[in-house]
Amino acid sequence: METNNPRLTQLLAFYQEDPADAFTIYALATEYRKLDVTESRKYYEILLSEHPNYVGTYYHAASLYNELGLPEKAEETYQKGMKIARQEGNMHAFSELQGAFNKFKGLDYEDED
């Protein structure tokens, strides 16, 4: 893909050098999120299938699925992310995913002051 986005160009070069690097794939998904949601989804799905323990993926991928009108896929992604975050002992990520999931489900009961 031709681009005049220097960051994206550099990330694509890194990806060509090492297509198995989870951080580069995550960075591409994040960068594409602002430019092309189809490409963003492609890279998030690479992470979900090839790097399932890369916990940071789940929050953003679920959010993207929800934006794309795929609530079942979003719910499934939040739930898998919470499970993996707990397995990895990453309670910060678990808490963020749980909060986002509760909001997604309309279960955020925080009092508005």
Q: What is the pLDDT of residues 71-85, one digit of tens each?
A: 999 999 999 999 999
pTM over 0.85: yes
Q: What is the pLDDT of residues 8-18, one digit of tens each?
A: 999 999 999 99
Looking at the domain 6-104, which fold is it?
Answer: 1.25.40
Q: What is the pLDDT of residues 22-53, one digit of tens each?
A: 999 999 999 999 999 999 999 999 999 999 99
The residue ranges of every structural domain in the chain are 6-104
CA 57 to chain centre: 3
Name the band, by pLDDT with cuts 50, 70 and 90, for residue 110: low
Spatial distance between the Cα atoms of 39 and 25, rounded to a whole number of angstroms: 11
Name the band, by pLDDT with cuts 50, 70 and 90, for residue 111: low
Q: Residue 4 has which token pair?
A: 């005049």
